[in-house]
Each structure stands twice: as structure tokens, then as C-alpha cells.
């Protein structure tokens, strides 16, 4: 299943994610520069789990000939995304769908895809595999896919070390102790963590190859890969 956002959580998302995810804005600038170095000036990008539209606004404002198709299942997040895209003056280059990738009609049409902080909400693993496979179906052969998610082996010393450091980082930003406790209780219980090696394996099983890590921040990771020809 995927995470659901009610109106209150959706409205607070942009503020909270910047406190919770170290380098959130840097991650988006990095993925933009990566894709800008790889794609032609005119390209069509699929954004899966568009959230509040950060991916689209970051990439769209500096790539004037890129077009975007975005899917977002939460009506509340979808509304915020639509408003943010309009405020950035990008609405004529963005096609929005409130729903899922599997509901898109055409296949093998996109030059690249982006999915930021989505698959770590999805469980079981078979649903993660379907999530990535649905994205692969929409891409041209050789197209690029950028994914960023929480990951890690919950039974490892590394996981607990990084989780504790991350918690301390979050608390250092004048976040109340109750909010810290609530956030990290949720993270431990409800985030569907898998190891990096299993994450990469799922991408490969979905039809992707050449998987390279480009971002790290505590338990957050970012990868770029290509759909196999």
C-alpha cells in the first residue's frame, strides 16, 4: 500500500520534509543537473508521486523545452502540486493525473522518469516491484530513471547508527520532542525499509540497468539508472 496524505499533512509537507530530509533541495538540484547533462533540450519527463511539485518546478524552470506528465494519487497533494506548478508558470508544459502510473494510456513514450520518496511507503516487495515495472513500461528503451528513497537493513548496526544520528539531526532544528518521537515511531513501524542491494535488485528485475548511487544522507539514498534496451 502507499502512504495517504490528508489535507493537514499535505499542507505541512513542504515545511516538514525540509526539516526531516537532509539536503532535500540539494537532492532536487542534483537530479536536475544529472538529467540536464543526459537529456536533449526537448524532452518528456514522467514524474511519479509528484507530491507538491518540487521535482517539476526545479527542473521545469531551467529547462524551458521540457514537458512533464505527473501522477499523484492523493487528491490533497495533487491540488497543492497543481497550484505550485501554476504559480511557477509551468502549467502549459505539465499534464497532471490524479492516480497511478498503471492508469496512463500510452506506453514507452517518456525520455526519463523521476520518483522521489515514494517507494519506501509501498509494501509488500511485490508491490514495489510492480511500482518500478509500471514506470519502466512507460519509458523508451535507454531512458533514464531517477529514484530517491529511504533504505537500509533494519537488523544491521549501520541502520541503527544512522537512524540515531538522523533523529538527533531532526531534533536539533527546534523540533519539539513529541514531534520527534511521533515522526521516528512512524518511520520505524511504517516505512518499508529494504537494503540497498535489494533496492537495486528490484530495479534490475523491473527492467533497469546501470544503477548508480548519486546521493546519500543518513538513510536517504538517490540512484540513477537506465531502462534496458
Domains observed in the chain: 7-151+192-227 (3.40.50.150)
Q: What is the mean pLDDT of residues 40-54?
A: 97
- Please report which confidence band the pLDDT of residue 221 belongs to, taking 50, 70 and 90 as the band edges: very high
- The per-residue pLDDT of the chain, averaged, comes to 95
Assess whether pLDDT exceeds 70 at residue 24. yes
Q: 143 and 45 in contact (C-beta within 8 Å)?
A: no
In the 8-state DSSP scheme, what is residue 218? T
pLDDT, residue 63, reads 98
In the 8-state DSSP scheme, what is residue 229? -
b/e burial code for range 29-58 (CB count within 10 A of at least 16 → b): ebbbebbeeebeeebbbbbbbbbbbbbbbb
The CA distance from 128 to 203, in Å, is 9
What does each C-alpha distance from 225 to 57, 73, 176, 184, 215 come to in angstroms? 22, 24, 38, 30, 13
Q: 104-138 pLDDT, tens per residue?
A: 987 879 999 999 999 999 999 999 999 999 999 99
Q: What is the mean pLDDT of residues 9-19?
A: 84
- Which cell numbers hold the place of 111? 525520455
Assess whether pLDDT exceeds 80 at residue 27. yes
Q: 140-172 pLDDT, tens per residue?
A: 999 999 999 999 999 999 999 999 999 999 999
pLDDT, residue 12, reads 84
pLDDT, residue 8, reads 58
Residues paired with 116 in a beta bridge: 148
In the 8-state DSSP scheme, what is residue 52? T
Q: What is the mean pLDDT of residues 67-73?
A: 97
Main-chain phi, psi angles of 17, to 5 degrees: -65, -30
Q: What is the mean pLDDT of residues 12-21?
A: 92
pLDDT, residue 7, reads 54
pLDDT, residue 1, reads 42
**Cα 151–Cα 155–Cα 157 angle in degrees, nearest 5:** 90
Amino acid at each position: 500500500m502507499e502512504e495517504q496524505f490528508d489535507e493537514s499533512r499535505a499542507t505541512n509537507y513542504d515545511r516538514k520534509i525540509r526539516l526531516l530530509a537532509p539536503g532535500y533541495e540539494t537532492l532536487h538540484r542534483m537530479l536536475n543537473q544529472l538529467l540536464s547533462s543526459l537529456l536533449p533540450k526537448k524532452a518528456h519527463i514522467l514524474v511519479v508521486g509528484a507530491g507538491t511539485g518540487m521535482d517539476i518546478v526545479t527542473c521545469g524552470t531551467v529547462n524551458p523545452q521540457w514537458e512533464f506528465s505527473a501522477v499523484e494519487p492523493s487528491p490533497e497533494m495533487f491540488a497543492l502540486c497543481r497550484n505550485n506548478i501554476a504559480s511557477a508558470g509551468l502549467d502549459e508544459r505539465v499534464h497532471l493525473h490524479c492516480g497511478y502510473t498503471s492508469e496512463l494510456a500510452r506506453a514507452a513514450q517518456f525520455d526519463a522518469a523521476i520518483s522521489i520518496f515514494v517507494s519506501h511507503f509501498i509494501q509488500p516487495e511485490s508491490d514495489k516491484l510492480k511500482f518500478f515495472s509500471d514506470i519502466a513500461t512507460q519509458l523508451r528503451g535507454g531512458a533514464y530513471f531517477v529514484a530517491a528513497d529511504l533504505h537500509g537493513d533494519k537488523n544491521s548496526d549501520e541502520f541503527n547508527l544512522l537512524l540515531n544520528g538522523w533523529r538527533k539531526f531532526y531534533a536539533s532544528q527546534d523540533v519539539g520532542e513529541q514531534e520527534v518521537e511521533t515522526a521516528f515511531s512512524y518511520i520505524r513501524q511504517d516505512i518499508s525499509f529494504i537494503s540497498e542491494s535489494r533496492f537495486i535488485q528490484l530495479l534490475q528485475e523491473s527492467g533497469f540497468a546501470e544503477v548508480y548511487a548519486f546521493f546519500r544522507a543518513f538513510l536517504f539514498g538517490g540512484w540513477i539508472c537506465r531502462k534496458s534496451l
